[in-house]
Structure 1
Amino acid sequence: MVLGLIPARFASTRLPGKPLVDLGGQSMIQRVVAQAQQANLARVVVATDDERILRHVQEFGGEAVLTHPHHPSGTDRLWEAFQLLGSPADVHCIVNIQGDEPFINPAQINALADLFADPATAPDIATLVKPVLTEEELFSPHLPKVVLNQLGHALYFSRHPLPYQRGREPHEWLAHHHYLRHLGLYAYKPSVLEQLTRLPVSPLEAAESLEQLRWLEAGFRIQCAETELEAFGIDTPEDAERARVRLGH
């Protein structure tokens, strides 16, 4: 069974109450849940630290659990949510779906879940990557880049363009290499998720402020699936307004 968990915190520096923001007549979290329910998930559950979000999800017919308000990372919140659900033994894959991506494509979720279909070949962790298309994307520290080995396993994630191209000007880089950026959708084996919550902050993670580097430093394998589909995260009031325009409101 594949379980979809959606972390949803009320507090947000740039957009307080973000999960409840109205986007064309539905809240953001309701739209995320609706998209996730179209994927091949046996169950979709919102993991929230706020009773207002809990009640709202229950009111529109969704499922939610109330987690502790203070977690060092979203991964820790996911693990608590899994425990609150009784740690069901028939779950072989947990998909971590970002609660601020109301346009997430169900195909993106399925692409990760499919990697766990065969227990013999299932990775520890899986995530999505997308080709970098513009120089703005390539040099934005807000869009982490990733380099892979020949098997599609992540070698490193960075907020800096990877790889550096010696002998070429930065404006030439995109024309001479297939750059990839990371999309914040993850899937894990339940046993691996538990192990991740026990890891201390690592030096590379502290340097880049990227939690997945902690996992790489600890020796976990991160399988990357490439997608052409765009992600549309909402972090600011301006992002929310662009989403309303996209919805025709």
Structure 2
Amino acid sequence: MNVLAIIPARYASSRFPGKPLAPILGKPMFWHVATRAAASPAVGRVVLATDDARIEAAARDLGVAVVRTRPDHPSGSDRVLEAARILKATPDTVVLNVQGDEPLLHPEMLDALVAPFARPEVGITTLARPISAHEATRPDTVKVVRATDGRALYFSRAPIPYGRDAQPQYLGHIGLYGFRLPLLEKFAKLGQSPLERMECLEQLRLLEAGIPIHVAITPHMSFGVDRPEDIDTVTRILNEQAS
């Protein structure tokens, strides 16, 4: 299987400008993401996709493959698609959208993201993990409900499913995606859907268009860096893992 992991890394951020370059244990954050992604046996190639000359130069200095993309993309998925086209990805390529602010990414998460593509009917994958009922009440934690074959039935910021007579097992969505290239191209052509606008969740665009998403389960947690103070948390966790 031809698997290409692309890490979108833009410089501008309202809460954390220059986030991909934030130093963590002496290396920029994007280096940690790229290094962990490359450790997945399922991934054939890892490439950083950025709109910024500073990030591009830092990547080249550290030996991280990088392509320069336009600055005006509305989402990371659009940046990933441009990078895939620059890299001349073929229609049979599985393209992974690996968030550039996940320095604690576990390589096994990408293995789980790729595994369902062994079934030819699977065109898009993402991940989820079991979460507590308390965590499910947080709007920033996106929940997902699956069919018995692993297809996503719905994603929501609300606690789903509703437990009328029993306590449900909640699944928290992890924002990593795998696409067969033709479906990534189709996703980019779709306009925003009503449910997407309502919940501010772009994956609902696919479900409303009748395009299935396969949700694989992982035991690993995800920790995205949103603010400068998150760097201290990531640094502490990495030091604990190394000890």
Q: TM-score, normalised by structure 2?
A: 0.94
Aligned to 2:71: 69
Distance 2:76 2:163 in 1: 34
- Name the count of aligned residue pairs: 238
Distance 1:159 1:186 in 2: 18
1:166 positional shift? 3.3
| Contiguous gaps of at least 5 residues in structure 2 | none
Question: Which secondary structure does the structure 2 equivalent of 1:160 belong to?
Answer: coil
Aligned to 2:180: 189
Match for 1:124: what amino acid? G
> Does structure 1 residue 217 correspond to structure 2 residue 208?
yes
Matches for 1:55-66 after TM superposition, within 5 Å = 55-66=57-68
Distance 2:46 2:150 in 1: 28
Aligned to 2:130: 131
Aligned to 2:26: 25
Matches for 1:22-101 after TM superposition, within 5 Å = 22-39=23-40, 40-88=42-90, 91-101=92-102
> Does structure 1 residue 156 correspond to structure 2 residue 159?
no
Question: Which secondary structure does the structure 2 equivalent of 1:236 belong to?
Answer: coil
Kept in 1, the 8 Å contact 2:95–2:181? The answer is yes
Distance 2:110 2:238 in 1: 21
Aligned to 2:115: 114
| Contiguous gaps of at least 5 residues in structure 1 | 168-172
Question: Which secondary structure does the structure 2 equivalent of 1:248 belong to?
Answer: helix
Distance 2:161 2:237 in 1: 34
Kept in 2, the 8 Å contact 1:92–1:116? The answer is no
- Aligned sequence identity (%): 44
Kept in 1, the 8 Å contact 2:129–2:174? The answer is yes
Aligned to 1:239: 230
Match for 1:19: what amino acid? P
Match for 1:117: what amino acid? A
Aligned to 1:170: none
Kept in 2, the 8 Å contact 1:38–1:106? The answer is yes
Distance 1:164 1:11 in 2: 38
Task: Give RMSD over aligned pairs.
Answer: 1.4
Match for 1:128: what amino acid? L
Match for 1:72: what amino acid? P
Could you list the per-position Cα deviations for residues 125-157 of structure 1 after superposition, in whole angstroms to 9, with x for gaps in the alignment?
10000101250x111111100111111110110
Q: TM-score, normalised by structure 1?
A: 0.92
1:73 positional shift? 1.4
1:116 positional shift? 1.3
